[in-house]
Amino acid sequence: MVPTKKDLILLRGLPGSGKSTLAALLSRGGGHPVFSIDSYFTNPETGEYLFEHDKKFFAYRQCEKQSAEAMQQGLVPIFVDNTLTIDWKIEPYFKLSSKYNYRVFVIKVENHHGEQNVHGVSQEQLEKIAEKYKVKLWI
């Protein structure tokens, strides 16, 4: 019997690039697990988003933990939509995928749709994030 492939799809890109929108589309409206640091800052009752920079580390850790728990359960596919623009933000997902035998697909999302980011990230901040955004070959 051939083992079933388990897939982890990482959607990475600048704030406002459409990662969450694409994750919702690919996951069939949430029919498959989607994890994001945005959920840490979103009030589940009101849907209000309130980003707190000093809690960003906790948000990343929660997203990694939720992803690990989904992998432990063998859920497929799993989507993660975060900026993932710096190595330390993406590396944990490669480690988890190796531990739980998941294939990793990284999709770089770019804003070609003309929408504005809903997180209030200024153009200056976007440019700073973009400067640090490197594509690394993981092979």
Give the domains, in start order, of the chain with CATH numbers: 7-132 (3.40.50.300)
Average of pLDDT values for 39-66?
Answer: 94
If one compares 73 and 119, the residue with the highest pLDDT of the two is 73
pLDDT at 1: 44
Average of pLDDT values for 77-98?
Answer: 94
Helix (H) or strand (E) holding 100: helix 87-100
pLDDT at 136: 59
Helix (H) or strand (E) holding 124: helix 123-132
pLDDT at 79: 98
If one compares 2 and 74, the residue with the highest pLDDT of the two is 74
pLDDT at 127: 83
pLDDT at 113: 74
103-108 β-sheet, strand order: 34-35, 78-81, 7-12, 103-108
